[in-house]
Amino acid sequence: MDGASPVPGFAFAGRLPPARRAALRAAALARSYQGVDGPELLQAMIAVEFPGRIAVASSFGTESAALLALVAEIEPTTPVIFLDTGKLFRETIAYRERLAERLGLTDLRIVRPDPRELGKPDPDGLLHRRDPDACCAVRKVAPLTRALAPFEAWVSGRKRLHGGERGAVATLEAVGDHVVASPLATWSRDQIDAVFTERGLPDHPLLHDGYASIGCAPCTKPATSGLDVRYGRWAGREKTECGIHRPALF
């Protein structure tokens, strides 16, 4: 494919609202790449469908190295967006630097909340205790929305094995104004582990302290054996997602 969508009449899609245009493009791509995942899908999105118009959003968490290694092998200049919420573990920051250097990622974009937006809702830095959804909105969703504005598509590391809302995540979908590719959505734990093993990738330092999924320090706990991989995120609350994958927030 040459990057043009197979949707009939898509040449006129520029007249449509951005969200509608993204939905049509995602649906067309999903049909064209049905059954395609992993490196093959990633290659198609980066080099064929959205060259120069796609970014990767990465938390540099416990599984992130697998996806980032595949991205680096395809095109190490692909923009990688990292949300520094101001509440991260210092181990995550150190791991980000180590992994980016190891993989040769040349366009790491560190995005932070706007201090002016933080001032009113979170003057004491404790909004995460009072209203974790509002905290995620100002520290994650808003900064990522701004960072993604120049792009038509972005790559997510979500996987069905995470369960919950991610149990049926599609490899290609529309989220707001963007096409989102989740090339590892259908992958198993063994497939992810194989990427680490075959490439000798380093683990996140906190993985060996029992953290299966790692977000902001105040809202992340070690997982208890036998529970799902994202158990430690917002432990003790009904909240399971920060909101960046929900169309209404884009």
CB-neighbour burial class of residue 15 (10 A; exposed 0-12, middle 13-18, buried 19+): exposed
C-alpha–C-alpha distance, residues 54 and 148, integer Å: 9
* Correct CATH for 15-249 of 3.40.50.620, 3.40.50.300, 3.40.190.10, 3.40.50.2020: 3.40.50.620
Q: With H, G, I as helix, E, B as strand and everything else as coil, classify residue 226.
A: coil
Give me the phi and psi of 143, to 5 degrees please. Answer: -60, -40
Summarised one tens digit per residue, pLDDT across range 25-47 is 999 999 999 999 999 999 999 99
pLDDT category of residue 2 using cuts at 50, 70 and 90: very low
Q: What pLDDT shows up at residue 241?
A: 53
Catalytic residue among 135, 136, 216, 242: 242
Q: What pLDDT shows up at residue 163?
A: 63
C-alpha–C-alpha distance, residues 244 and 109, integer Å: 17
The structural domains of the chain, with segments of one domain joined by +, span: 15-249
Q: Taking the CA of residue 147 as centre, how many other CA atoms within 13 Å lie in the half-sphere pointing to its CB? A: 26
Question: In the chain, where does DSSP find H-type helix?
Answer: 18-32, 38-43, 64-74, 90-103, 115-119, 127-130, 132-136, 142-148, 189-199
pLDDT category of residue 210 using cuts at 50, 70 and 90: confident
Summarised one tens digit per residue, pLDDT across range 129-170 is 888 888 888 999 999 999 999 999 999 999 888 766 666 789
216 is an active site residue = no
C-alpha–C-alpha distance, residues 85 and 110, integer Å: 10
pLDDT category of residue 248 using cuts at 50, 70 and 90: very low
